[in-house]
Structure 1
Amino acid sequence: MEYKSIEELEIKAQQARGLTFREIDKKGRLLKKGATGALGNIIEESYFEYEINSKAEADFAELGVELKVTPFKQNKDKSLSAKERLVLNIINYIEEVNYTFETSSFWKKNQKMLLMFYEWKKELERGEYKIIEAILYEFPEEDLIIIKKDWEFIADKIRQGKAHLLSEGDTLYLGACTKGANKNSLRKQPFSDELAMQRAFSLKSSYMTSIVREYISKETLTYFSSKNELKEKTIEQLLKEKFAPYIGMTFYEVADQLQVKINPSNRSSVANLISALLGVKGTKLDKVAEFAKANIQFKTVRLQQNGRPQQSMSFKNIDFHEILEEEWEDSYIRNYFLEMQLLFVVFQFDKENILRFKGIKLWHMPMETIEVELFNYWTEIRRVLNEGVVLTKTKKGIENNFPKTNHNGVLHVRPKGADGNDKIQLPDGQWITKQCYWLNAGYVAEIVKE
């Protein structure tokens, strides 16, 4: 069926709000368990009544609109977020290098998207998922500037014969995600004999979360940079310019300059300081557009006089049941570091032992580190869990046999609970103090020393 106008298409899409996939499915696709892309196919053939295809052009070619069916979820704190990245079209390494952004396969297919959001709930069968919202989405000009730079970075890496080294962490909004059944899904690339993993253009889950919160939660984001600034400089360059005038100052001197009341023991004080420094005083960092869409998270680092952090850097508490159930490609730790950009805000004690602002570092974990050190560590944790966690009473307390800081020099697992009674149950039934991933202090020192 052809639609005469975008407005007509939008009206049709919005009429699906409140319907479950079971109510929409006319072809029995829900009966095929585990069928990849089944929910999107149901919308295509049963709701919009067109044949499933893999054409290079947009789904509604006459209108230049691509259809995407994508899930969101409600978090424990009641906020909404995208459940996953939005996978777009496969990257043809041989052809993509011959295009400009405006003639690229990505832009031809995805410049206008009809996004149909359904709410994913763990306890429901997929046929019971409901369509919640349908919107025609066009990239805001500020975002498009960054997306174009992301595409150019990906294309340039292919031109350098480095398609096999592409990583989602390389870019901010538009990623190059792996797309294939397994690690044997390989493709030729034009300027190297080395085969590269098949990849597709994708909008990162953080970018999709920003869309969910804007259109479903009705939240507003604030940009700290202007369109002209984004055209001329990278996000990292703009951040460094914003922070540069405060290098050498103490925490309190920076606060005085920005007229911000702070409590150094309160983590939110640093966040308030950063938002004031960016010129969006009073805005939470997760409401700053560039931070939210690129999944930029800040970490304060306090260096001793010798340049080593006072302590290792903690992240999320570990769900040991989840580790045993997940595959590496979909594991929490892999995707956490794969998609996240860390903004290190670095302070260092001077010779008089006064803590002064040293600078910032925008960083993402290299792909090789993720696929080697993180993978090996994740595998070792699974081995310990499967063979049985050994808890030993020592003078320091109860110790376990999870790999320690010297395992790979990158990260380790150790307790992070409110106190010794803040515990979690292991898959074998034992109770243990809540454990957390920590980046080793020495590894953090190497990252921020530049």
Structure 2
Amino acid sequence: MIERFEYADARELVSYAKEAEGKYLYEIDKKDMLKNTNVKGSVGHIIEASYFGYDINSNAEADFADVGIELKATGISKLKNGNLKAKERLVLNIINYMKEYQYDFYHSSFWTKNQKLLLFFYEYKKNKYKKMNRENTQIVKVELFEFPEEDLEIVKSDWKIIHDKIIKGEAHLLSEGDTLILGACTKGSTASKSLREQPFSDIKAKQRAFSIKQGYMTSLVRKYITNEHLESITSSKEINKKSLEQILEEKFSPYFGMKDYEIAEKLNIKLSNGKGKVPHLVSHMLGIKGNDLSKIEEFEKFNIKFKTINLNHNGNLKEHMSFEQINFHDYLNTDWDYSELKEKFESTKWLFVVFKENENNKKIFHSIKLWNMPAEDINTHLQQFYLDTQKVLRQGVVLTETKRGVSNNLPGTKDNPVCHIRPKARDSADQYQLPDGQMITKQCFWLNKGYILNIINRKN
């Protein structure tokens, strides 16, 4: 029997929690929970049960209700370059659609349970079996977190977006892309089957939980652990008065209609011809010194990714939009609800920077668009693309020799209005192995150029 930790006040609780810094799970685990591979949320549960001696529960109130503090464990991953980032979003409490709409923010289930978070940051490592090395998981940092005032205003706005969708009978259309910090992520072992009633529609909605997005969690890793400073393009005062899209529009609008080299001259920078040409221009238009746009405070915190779009002089897109290479083994073995593809387009906002060629083939800065994929497209076309790809992989990819090279029966541009698969490799010899053992030229995920064109031509 583990003795329950008793505390006089929040300060004493946090002081005891901080004594766990540097400890490994095997040192904390007094209930042999590490031996039970079925323990869900194992790190948090081991800390709660073995370190604090509390029974694991799913109460509506905070774990340490008398001081209003909720305990949460959150993973940190190390990138190849040595930088640290949050491994994933921080999942909070399940959203009860039938009740949540009745509350204001300060009486909501989210705020009641999560206004103060006792965060245990642990380093996520894999063992030789590519699974989490739970025994040697180390607690890196413990912090009592409360949203700073400027971020709390954004969280309130995010909560209202979620709240308003429930009231409109659109809980089934919730998407993490709708919001900046506070998300509504799918939750359940089989999210597509974990359906819940909503109050103002007969359509059942996927079970979802409030969550703090991965980008924001990474900003906390930087704040508490690495002390890395990122440049900011706005202020907390401005971002609480205007939308992020308004702020970006105001930053870029003085350059609309200018040729790329004219922008460079105005900013007194040298225009390169390499891949960093547009990021270099964009960063200076935003008043940022470096070319790495992921190092902008707001881009990291709100998970904004940058893409260049080039239109010809007729206003047509020159090419489809490419993303990462496809890992077909992951596609085959991962359910849609837990796929990287679904998470990417649910949680990411994309800043499209649009250039248009004139009759003399000079690039003119045309416009910007801050966009996230609508839930309707994610839950229909994107999901169907993923399932169609899985089907082809299960049946075996058919490779056919043609005059132009080797074709395949993976989903192409004519098979889906949103996206497709096509090669993106140095040459035909740049190949990797399919799950069925065949070799194929490296393939990428692409958004169809017609789909992209509709997005940038849309007025809202």
TM range (shorter): over 0.9
Which of the numbers 272, 280, 293 marks the counterpart of 1:272?
Answer: 280
**Alignment-mate amino acid for residue 123 of structure 2:** E
Aligned to 1:159: 167
- Kept after mapping to 1: 8 A contact 2:351/2:368: yes
**Alignment-mate amino acid for residue 388 of structure 1:** G
Instruction: Note closer, same or farther for the CA distance 1:283–1:270 as it changes in structure 2 (3 Å cut).
Output: closer
Q: Distance in 2 between matches of 1:4 and 1:272?
A: 54
Do residues 199 (structure 1) and 203 (structure 2) align?
Answer: no
Which of the numbers 346, 350, 366 marks the counterpart of 1:342?
Answer: 350
TM-score where L is the length of structure 2: 0.92
Q: Distance in 1 between matches of 2:269 and 2:13?
A: 49
SS of equivalent to 2:159? helix
1:352 shift after superposition:
4.5
Which of the numbers 282, 290, 309 marks the counterpart of 2:298?
Answer: 290
SS of equivalent to 1:35? coil
Q: Distance in 2 between matches of 1:180 and 1:48?
A: 27
Do residues 254 (structure 1) and 258 (structure 2) align?
Answer: no
Which of the numbers 371, 374, 396 marks the counterpart of 2:379?
Answer: 371
1:135 shift after superposition:
1.5
Aligned to 1:245: 254
Map 1:81-160 → 2, pairs under 5 A? 81-123=85-127, 124-160=132-168
Which contiguous aligned blocks of 4+ residues in structure 1 show a shift greater than 6 angstroms? none
Unaligned 5+ runs, structure 2:
none
Instruction: Note closer, same or farther for the CA distance 1:377–1:90 as it changes in structure 2 (3 Å cut).
Output: same
Aligned to 1:65: 69
Which of the numbers 388, 392, 397 marks the counterpart of 2:400?
Answer: 392
**Alignment-mate amino acid for residue 121 of structure 1:** K
Deviations 1:180-210 (A, max 9, x none): 2333323232222332222111011222122
SS of equivalent to 1:216? helix
Count how many residue pairs are aligned between Structure 1 and Structure 2. 449
Q: Distance in 1 between matches of 2:115 and 2:437?
A: 51
SS of equivalent to 1:290? helix
Aligned to 1:184: 193
- Kept after mapping to 1: 8 A contact 2:150/2:237: no
Instruction: Note closer, same or farther for the CA distance 1:393–1:277 as it changes in structure 2 (3 Å cut).
Output: same
Instruction: Note closer, same or farther for the CA distance 1:50–1:278 as it changes in structure 2 (3 Å cut).
Output: same
Deviations 1:305-347 (A, max 9, x none): 2322111111001111221221111111111111111111011
Aligned to 2:367: 359
Tell me the percent identity: 52
Q: Distance in 2 between matches of 1:3 and 1:260?
A: 59
Deviates more, 1:148-157 or 1:11-20: 11-20
Which of the numbers 26, 32, 50 marks the counterpart of 1:28?
Answer: 32
- Kept after mapping to 1: 8 A contact 2:70/2:114: yes
Q: Distance in 1 between matches of 2:329 and 2:179?
A: 32
Which of the numbers 409, 420, 426 marks the counterpart of 1:418?
Answer: 426
Do residues 2 (structure 1) and 6 (structure 2) align?
Answer: yes
Do residues 302 (structure 1) and 310 (structure 2) align?
Answer: yes
Deviations 1:231-265 (A, max 9, x none): 211111111111111111111112222223221x3
Unaligned 5+ runs, structure 1:
none
Do residues 447 (structure 1) and 451 (structure 2) align?
Answer: no
1:86 shift after superposition:
0.6
- Kept after mapping to 1: 8 A contact 2:276/2:291: no
1:388 shift after superposition:
2.1
Q: Distance in 2 between matches of 1:214 and 1:144?
A: 17
**Alignment-mate amino acid for residue 359 of structure 1:** S
Q: Distance in 1 between matches of 2:226 and 2:444?
A: 31
SS of equivalent to 2:249? helix
Which of the numbers 18, 22, 34 marks the counterpart of 1:14?
Answer: 18
Aligned to 1:327: 335
- Kept after mapping to 2: 8 A contact 1:309/1:441: yes
SS of equivalent to 1:338? helix
Do residues 220 (structure 1) and 224 (structure 2) align?
Answer: no
Deviates more, 1:29-38 or 1:146-155: 29-38
Q: Distance in 2 between matches of 1:41 and 1:118?
A: 13
Deviations 1:379-426 (A, max 9, x none): 222222222223333222232221211111211111112333322122
- Kept after mapping to 2: 8 A contact 1:157/1:163: yes
- Kept after mapping to 1: 8 A contact 2:309/2:317: yes
